[in-house]
Amino acid sequence: MNVNEAKKKAMNGLGLLDINSGVYHGKWMATEGKKSIESVCPINGQILGSVAQGDADDYEQVMAAAEKAFKLWSKVPPPGRGEIAGEIGAELSKNKELLGLLVTLEVGKTISEGAGEIQEAIDIASFAAGLSRQLYGLTIASERPEHRLMEQWHPLGTIGVITSFNFPAAVWAWNALIAAVVGDVTVWKPSSSALLTAVAVSRIANKVVERNGLPPIFLLACGSGRTVGNLLVNDKRVSLVSFTGSTATGRSVGEQTAARFGKSILELGGNNCAVITPNADIDLAVKGVAFGAIATAGQRCTSTRRALIHSSIYDNFITKLTDVYNKVNIGSPLDPSSIVGPLVNNDAVDNYKTTIARAQEQNGRILHGGNVYKARNCKSGCFVIPTIIEIDKQEGIVLEETFAPILYVMKYDNLQDAVRIHNSVPQGLSSAIFSTDIRETEYFISNAGSDCGIVNVNTSTAGAEIGGAFGGEKETGGGRESGSDAWKYYARRQTVTVNYGKDIPLSQGVVFPV
């Protein structure tokens, strides 16, 4: 299938137009007279379609609709909210092939990864449906007689969700569907590089909402960061802002949100590392590191960017790893044989080239790759060769996150040193150790080991499951999304004391003789 065939299939199947409305507040904004952003396919530079952008007035309509909808939606019992999440999952499942194809066209993921993106949203819908009957609070032993102490959770209100291009549907689902069963409504500002996916997903979700006679709980506000983004971050009506993106932008989002005493979930940079010990299953470790570094062309926040390899196995490991890299097919993600598709745009390619030049200035030695790639039947220059760079010292550019398939490899001599090097970066998202020695793996996952929010044993830094809470420490930002008890971020905790006696005994032995 070529780009034109795929475009026709996805756009027609999902009802997308040449110019699509990018604002939904119970009805879709008219596109006439509005500025629009073109969605450009990174496979060959072809324009897929356009999405009309909202301005400050459109944003205000979205927020007014959100406030009104919350008053109604929050009164629906949680299991009823869960049924809506389940229905959305079913609709996403019906459209999985088309949505996955659109993700491939718009951001360059392989066919398999595009489908996996939508499957993740479907899985979250199922998780949210079950969660709707498990929004538990605690009953706590009271120190006072004839008193009951408990805590309960209430919805926050309106949640702002700002997503990145690399997971254009799944991260929205992590936030919006979990928040929905808690009783919140969401306003979504998607990446300008993945607007068509956002429009398509929003249409499907709101189709379910509308047929059930419910108010608009999944609102969409496409627009520039300087207008819609800033309005969303600084709006006191937005109780929580969930932001996925760069550390620099995330720091600004966090500061602005905190200044108005709002809450935030920040999913920012990752400089993820895999430690390979002498006791590793080498073939397993090679596969895990290669997948982590190469999948999605290195454009995952959990992509493997550093590999620490014990000096006794270093040469053998590097030989096997470069052999895998030599066999990797680079090309159109529409071709099922392709493992590496394009970077998202030309700016990403420039960043790839700049990073490699900086690494070489720091005495980095290229073991594989290091150049752009002219993919067969692809006119775009967004393809690059997955690169391995050998370094002696972790400094400079190695401390930064580059959204590209660049892997830094280095030697270590003992596990304690490896952990020290592993932790000596500003970011703290995902980590991995490859070892068959339980002492080594337990050390790595202990408090003395990895300082990341996610730790993996004998598997890749990439590919987190939805059942666990997702997020990191340090400059990765903080907060958690997706599974486990991450739902509590979208709710406000309330501690309740009930006195069912005829007196008012005080806590801590305080006496009030009246």
Catalytic residues: 267, 301
Going from the C-alpha of 389 to that of each of 340, 362, 368, 370, 429, the distances in angstroms are 18, 11, 7, 9, 22
Q: How far apart are CA 85 and CA 74, in angstroms?
A: 14
Identify the CA nearest to 430 among candidates 309, 306, 284, 278. Answer: 306
Largest interatomic CA distance in the chain: 88
Tell me the one-letter amino acid at 349.
Answer: V
Q: How far apart are CA 100 and CA 118, in angstroms?
A: 6
Q: How far apart are CA 95 and CA 300, in angstroms?
A: 24
* Helix/strand/coil percentages in the chain, nearest 5: 40, 20, 40
| ∠ Cα 132 237 473 (to 5°) | 65
| Beta strand ranges found along 350-446 (DSSP E) | 365-368, 387-390, 406-412, 427-428, 430-434
Q: How far apart are CA 483 and CA 130, in angstroms?
A: 11
Identify the CA nearest to 121 among candidates 186, 168, 73. Answer: 168
Q: How far apart are CA 209 and CA 203, in angstroms?
A: 10
H or E, element range at 276: strand 272-276
Name 457's Cβ contacts closer than 8 Å, sequence gap at least 6.
432, 433, 435, 441, 444, 445
Going from the C-alpha of 445 to that of each of 340, 418, 432, 439, 451, the distances in angstroms are 31, 13, 9, 10, 9
Torsion angle, alpha carbons of 464, 469, 473, 479, to 10: 130
- Residue 436 Ramachandran class (φ > 0 left, ψ -120 to 50 alpha, else beta): alpha
Q: Let me know: does 140 contact 494? Beta carbons within 8 Å.
A: no
H or E, element range at 153: strand 147-155
Helices (H), 221-344: 230-234, 247-259, 282-294, 314-327
